[in-house]
Amino acid sequence: MESLKEIIGKCEELAFDLDFKRAKEWKSQDPKRVLVGFMPIYFPREVIHAANGLAIGIMGGGDRKQIVKGDAYYQSYICHMPRGIIELALDNHFEGFDGFIFPSICDVIRNLSGMFRFLNKGKFIKYLDYPQNFEAHIGGVFYKSELQHVLDEIKKINGVEITAEKLNHSIGLFNENRKLIKQIYDIRDKFPWRITAADLYHIVRAGMVIPVEEHNEILNQVLIYIQQEMGVPLDKIRVLVIGAFCEQPPIGLIRAIELAGCYIVEDDFLLGSRWAQGDIRTDMDDPIEALSESYLNNGTFSSSVYDVNNPKEVRLLNLAKERRTDGIIFAAPSFCDPALLDHPILQKACIDSNIRFISFLYSENTGQFKVIKEQVGTFSDSIKLWE
Ligand code: SF4
């Protein structure tokens, strides 16, 4: 068995391979396989898996891609991620991808789907509208028709007709994937010194670009390692980081937070891989109904979703309590409208509940962390010294 260090190294390489080599190699093994890119944050990858496909999370170029042409496509006052994605598209990093799915997160993602159309990328481009109505007979029916549309597009490419059996099997594999990730987060909750947040990030992000079967094997190996004692507990505060659900923070930023005296025991990085809370049913004659039910009733919360009956400020405080956090760090991408519009509501809830918090902005290619490290360090010290 590989060492934990080797596994993390492999995951880092996979996670930041902007040429998606493992996915392309997987596709080359069978002419009926398809690759479908999806933008953050959530898409039910189960439907692509059942249709002989691999859903690839496109998280942007991060700090590993110089943006030259991408800036020409967007005004200056929007977030950074779509510029990186356009740059990747123009430099043909998505060569061999059959389709692209743009979930309805915000206007920026909507515009990005239009640009992919202009650029003639892939064989289909789907702007996937998520229901904002959480009634099964309204939002649920709509959501099912959106997923069916994706399947129809894939069938036009590879002729694969999915059956209930196939889709239930795929749902089972992703249930396993989510369960393993949750187990790792739960172990970190108790023993956060056993694996750093940055290493965990690499491990989870690798799962966005490789087959779920391979990722489940990796997660099982990681679990074996971190169930054993390792590392030394340090005198750090426990924090929850929120706001980073779409454009991902640079790894240096995640490291800076932990180096400045915090253990990140909960976060919303790569949220799509943990969207469904609990298992999705695998015994239904209509498994798309099961996916829809899960989205409507058992999804996590995020700024990209407006669920008036399930206020996110209450869910945030519950999560902070569950993870026994000492404070909350609001870290959002610059110009991210959904995150920044939510912050006043979420921060007011923190003030009303006497929960300490700090807030700052980042870009996926931010390279200097000195100021953030000082801010986080002061936050950590103030809690340790005066709580
Ligand atoms: S980072 Fe925010 S504004 Fe940018 S694409 Fe994502 S949700 Fe939209």
The full DSSP string for 286-342 is: SHHHHHHHHHHHHB---TT---TTS-HHHHHHHHHHHTT-SEEEEEEETT-HHHHHH
Smallest CA separation from ligand 1 atom 2, residue: 336
Task: Classify residue 120: in a domain, yes or no.
Answer: yes
User: Residue 386 has what pLDDT?
Assistant: 81
Rounded distance from Cα 109 to ligand 1 centre (Å) = 7
Among 80, 247, 363, say which to mutate for ligand 1: greatest number of ligand atoms within 8 Å of CB: 247
Task: Classify residue 228: in a domain, yes or no.
Answer: no
* Rounded distance between C-alpha atoms, residue 102 and residue 82, angstroms: 11
Among 74, 85, 105, say which to mutate for ligand 1: greatest number of ligand atoms within 8 Å of CB: 105
Three-state DSSP at 61 gives coil
Rounded distance from Cα 245 to ligand 1 centre (Å) = 9
Task: Classify residue 56: in a domain, yes or no.
Answer: yes
36 in Cβ contact with 99 (< 8 Å): yes
Backbone angles phi, psi at 73, to 5 degrees: -90, -15
Report H helices in 159-196. Answer: 164-190
User: Residue 189 has what pLDDT?
Assistant: 97
Rounded distance from Cα 254 to ligand 1 centre (Å) = 19
User: Residue 254 has what pLDDT?
Assistant: 97
- In this prediction, the residues of the chain whose per-residue pLDDT falls under 70 are none
Task: Classify residue 167: in a domain, yes or no.
Answer: no
311 in Cβ contact with 222 (< 8 Å): no
User: Residue 367 has what pLDDT?
Assistant: 86
In angstroms, the Cα distances linking 103 to 52, 261, 315, 373 are 21, 36, 23, 33
Smallest CA separation from ligand 1 atom 8, residue: 106
User: Residue 75 has what pLDDT?
Assistant: 87
261 in Cβ contact with 376 (< 8 Å): yes
Q: Domain of 107?
A: 26-158
Overall domain count for the chain: 1
CB atoms within 10 A of CB 159: 9
What is the maximum span of the chain, computed from C-alpha positions, in angstroms?
64
Q: Tokens 């490419």 correspond to what residue? A: 157
CATH of the domain at 30: 3.40.50.11890
Tokens of 141: 């029916």
Ligand 1 atom closest to Cα of residue 333: 1
Give percent of the chain with pLDDT exceeding 70. 100
In angstroms, the Cα distances linking 153 to 51, 216, 260, 321, 334 are 10, 28, 48, 43, 35
Q: Tokens 């206007």 correspond to what residue? A: 107
Among 108, 341, 363, say which to mutate for ligand 1: greatest number of ligand atoms within 8 Å of CB: 108
Q: Name the packing angle between helices 141-158 and 287-298 (round to 10°).
A: 130
Task: Classify residue 4: in a domain, yes or no.
Answer: no
User: Residue 361 has what pLDDT?
Assistant: 96
* Rounded distance between C-alpha atoms, residue 339 and residue 365, angstroms: 18
Rounded distance from Cα 267 to ligand 1 centre (Å) = 17
Among 42, 303, 336, 364, say which to mutate for ligand 1: greatest number of ligand atoms within 8 Å of CB: 336
| Ligand 1 binding residues, C-beta < 6 A | 79, 81-82, 105-106, 108-109, 246-247, 333, 336-339
User: Residue 174 has what pLDDT?
Assistant: 98
* Rounded distance between C-alpha atoms, residue 174 and residue 32, angstroms: 21
Task: Classify residue 212: in a domain, yes or no.
Answer: no
Ligand 1 atom closest to Cα of residue 112: 5
* Rounded distance between C-alpha atoms, residue 4 and residue 384, angstroms: 32
Per DSSP (E only), the strands in the chain are: 34-38, 53-57, 99-103, 124-128, 237-242, 262-267, 327-333, 356-362
Task: Classify residue 341: in a domain, yes or no.
Answer: no
Task: Classify residue 240: in a domain, yes or no.
Answer: no
User: Residue 63 has what pLDDT?
Assistant: 87
Rounded distance from Cα 40 to ligand 1 centre (Å) = 9
Rounded distance from Cα 304 to ligand 1 centre (Å) = 9
User: Residue 1 has what pLDDT?
Assistant: 83
Cβ burial of 33 (10 Å; 0-12, 13-18, 19+) is middle
Beta strand pairing status for 53-57 and 99-103?
Answer: unpaired
